[in-house]
Amino acid sequence: MSQLYIYNTLSRTKEVFAPINPPFVGMYVCGPTVYNDVHLGNCRTFVSFDLIYRYLLFSGYKVRYVRNITDAGHLEGDRDEGDDKFTKRARLEQLEPMEIVQKYTLGFHDVMKVLNTLPPSIEPTATGHICEQLEMIKTILEAGYAYIVNGSVYFDVERFSSVFDYGALTNRKREELFENTRELHGQDEKRGRLDFALWIKAKPETLMQWPSPWGWGFPGWHIECSAMSKKYLGETFDIHGGGMDLQATHHTNEIAQSKACCKDEPVKYWMHTNMLTVNGTRMSKSAGNGFLPQELFSGTHALLEKAYHPMTVRFFMLQTHYRSTLDFSNDALQASEKGLQRLWNAVNALSKIKPGKQHHNSIDQLDTMCKAAMNDDFNSPVLIATLFEHTALINAAAEGKAELSQDNLNTLKHVYNQYMVEVLGLTPQALKTEYSRALQSAMNLLLQIRTDAKTQRHFELSDHIRKNLEAGGIRIQDHKDGSTWDVM
Ligand code: AMP
Ligand code: ZN
């Protein structure tokens, strides 16, 4: 295995990746809160970790990738008061909270699949791990780092700070962290401004609540990740990731909970993805500037000039390093569409070029250069630039204006296939080849047969066609003036 460098948020340096128990790697990524649709910003974080997961697998590691689903607790803001997000949404949509959870989990999975992300090894839910969370809270209480007030349990940051460095992940002193919190008032149950809820007492009308030693309630948001990462990856594991917005509170509190419970540093490498922005402002559910991935794929968003293929969107994300901000724009998407097409055209041309006599030594270095880019903290933009460097030569060879030796052709085919498909996770769906033209004409024929069947009221046949295509990953949608198809 070649030497891989990972930027560790905790040490603020690039470190040589040395897993605790090689070749096994434990990786935990904070997943979505499934009370509404994921937006493109969320997708950026999950696509970034998909790249990281793919490259670790590609490098020969055996990765246990845990990405949770937050389906309980999680209040708005830092007040630890009021209804949880699921109860609120269930009231709004007049559904059971678990119907909300199911609906948005399925939607999330669909989007992840369309963006060609690999499923995690384990996808645990907060509601499925209430016992583990209760056990952890009890241990924290026994260790003296939490206190009970009126059926709720709070983490005592003051006490924790007397033993450990609470602000280590953001390199901030406790006083600086104070600045971002509000003053406590007489009615507050918390003793300290930085204290946070481990368990929250439920009101009678709270829809999701569980019994605990302190009465009926529900878990605070942070405890689920500490409890589930410990259960599936152990008290100390290799990589923990999430978006940068989680660093100051959610991950800082996760570290505090795990240390209060188990003493040791829970995570060796903390990794944080930077934000997807729109006109420089972070895309977020609360800011109301969220694009739904489906709006991009269908081109229905008011700010979009056209629809973009999911692979264009994935490529657009990977063209920027995961630690840099990525600003969303029509122009950038169009450039990505063109760029990706250029790469696929080169791949396509490679299969048609006849070997010549001339050998290019620079191509012998291609694999090493691609690895070097990815080994430098998963630098996908440098990898993509390296792949672009050879497209002009490939095109020239395809037009008979240059030569490539058999060895050159073998290397190029091998490297492009490995890095485009396995590492970057791009599928050649966007390619306008003879294959997609042939598929289109076959689909036109099938849709015509289905329309005729419906006109003649042969609904069994029309359903049969739709269901079988669906089983093969092709979705049919019926409209007033005909049917369309796309790949699910
Ligand atoms: P949430 O469902 O809000 O808990 O977010 C799920 C994941 O998406 C978390 O890892 C967040 O840090 C991440 N995230 C949220 N907004 C953005 C954004 N604008 N850009 C990139 N990642 C984001
Ligand atoms: Zn988390």
Q: What is the pLDDT along the chain (488 residues), one digit of tens a residue?
A: 789 999 999 999 999 999 999 999 999 999 999 999 999 999 999 999 999 999 999 999 999 999 999 998 767 655 556 678 888 898 889 999 999 999 999 999 999 999 999 999 999 999 999 999 999 999 999 999 999 999 999 999 999 999 999 999 999 887 777 776 766 766 688 999 999 999 999 999 888 999 999 999 999 989 999 999 999 999 999 999 999 999 999 999 999 999 999 999 999 999 999 999 998 999 997 788 888 999 999 888 888 888 899 999 999 999 999 999 999 999 999 999 999 999 999 999 999 999 999 999 999 999 999 999 999 999 999 999 999 999 999 999 999 999 999 999 999 999 999 999 999 999 975 444 445 567 777 888 899 999 999 999 999 999 999 888 887 778 787 877 778 776 65
Q: Which helix (H) or strand (E) holds 479?
A: strand 474-479
pTM, full prediction: 0.87
CATH number of 277-423: 1.10.730
Q: Which CATH superfamily is domain 5-273 in?
A: HUPs (3.40.50.620)
Pairing of strands 267-273, 237-243: parallel
- Respond yes or no on whether the N-terminal peptide bond of residue 23 is cis (omega within 30° of 0): yes
Cβ of 243 closer than 6 Å to ligand 1, yes or no, is yes
| Residues 6+ positions from 398 with CB-CB distance below 8 Å | 349, 352, 353
Cβ of 323 closer than 6 Å to ligand 1, yes or no, is no
The protein residue whose alpha carbon is closest to atom 7 in ligand 1 is: 42
What's the CA gap between 15 and 6, in Å, rounded?
A: 5
* Residue in 230, 215, 187, 234 with CA at minimum distance from that of residue 81: 187
Distance of CA 189 to the CA centre of its chain: 35
Cβ of 370 closer than 6 Å to ligand 1, yes or no, is no
Cβ of 107 closer than 6 Å to ligand 1, yes or no, is no
| Residues 6+ positions from 91 with CB-CB distance below 8 Å | 207
Each domain of the chain, given as residue ranges in start order, spans 5-273, 277-423, 433-487
Measure 108 CA to ligand 2 centroid, in angstroms. Answer: 17
Residue 79 and residue 43 in contact, taking contact as beta carbons nearer than 8 Å:
no
Cβ of 33 closer than 6 Å to ligand 1, yes or no, is yes
* Residue in 297, 252, 66 with CA at minimum distance from that of residue 155: 252
CA 241 to ligand 1: nearest atom: 10
* Distances in whole angstroms, Cα of residue 121 to Cα of each of 29, 52, 118, 232: 11, 14, 9, 10
* For the CA of 31, the nearest ligand: 1
What's the CA gap between 314 and 33, in Å, rounded?
A: 22
Cβ of 242 closer than 6 Å to ligand 1, yes or no, is yes
Residue type, 150: N
Cβ of 42 closer than 6 Å to ligand 1, yes or no, is yes
Structure token digits, residue 77:
């803001």
Measure 441 CA to ligand 1 centroid, in angstroms. Answer: 40
Measure 220 CA to ligand 2 centroid, in angstroms. Answer: 11
* Residue in 336, 335, 347 with CA at minimum distance from that of residue 394: 347
The protein residue whose alpha carbon is closest to atom 12 in ligand 1 is: 243
What is residue 447's three-state secondary structure? helix
Residue 303 and residue 333 in contact, taking contact as beta carbons nearer than 8 Å:
no
Reported residue count of the chain is: 488
* For the CA of 30, the nearest ligand: 2
Cβ of 267 closer than 6 Å to ligand 1, yes or no, is no
